[in-house]
Amino acid sequence: MLQPPHSSLQIAAVPAQRAAARDRDQDAPWHTEAVCRRDEAGLFFAPSKEPTAARLSREEAAKRVCARCPVMVECREHALLQPEPYGVWGGLTAAERRVVLARRRRREMELKKTPRPGRIAAAG
Ligand code: SF4
């Protein structure tokens, strides 16, 4: 992302290519309004070997920050389109984003299978 939100502290925690992608997006307009750009930097990415209870608590705290962020929708779409494999983005954890992406893929497949009215008329 821009490096959203979760700035330099997290860059070290993600693969180099992800950090490069974030750097490329750094100037995206929505990024400048990210609430997490200014504070709460440690909430968005897991430290290594984080216990489950601590992770759940941290993720909920990050989501509360996202809930008051004016660019949550833009951030979420960015994280889904990249896709961003780590951290909380746009109020969603990595696991939640995988579910959203799977639903989108399933919906797209269903739409492809559904005959369009124009095709039916032409065929008939
Ligand atoms: S939605 Fe959350 S992760 Fe995204 S920019 Fe806002 S505070 Fe940061």
Q: With a 6 A CB cut-off, is 43 part of the ligand 1 pocket?
A: no
Known binding residues are: 36, 66, 69, 75
* pLDDT at res. 116: 75
Q: What region does 49 belong to: left with phi over 0, alpha with psi -120 to 50, or beta?
A: left
2 Cβ inside 6 Å of ligand 1: no
Residue nearest to atom 3 of ligand 1 (CA): 89
- pLDDT at 57 (0 to 100): 96
| 10-residue stretch averages of pLDDT, the chain, 124 residues long | 48 42 60 83 89 96 96 96 94 97 96 78 52
Residue 10: the pLDDT is: 45
Give the residue whose CA is nearest to atom 7 of ligand 1.
66
Residue appearing with tokens 């962020």? 69
DSSP 71: T
Residues annotated within the binding site for [4Fe-4S] cluster are: 36, 66, 69, 75
- The span from the CA of 86 to the CA of 93, in Å, is 8
Q: Is the CB of 87 under 6 A from ligand 1?
A: no
CA of 93 to the centre of ligand 1 (A): 11
Q: What global pTM score does this model have?
A: 0.73
Q: What integer pLDDT is reported at residue 27 of this predicted model?
A: 57
Distance CA 10, CA 19 (A): 9
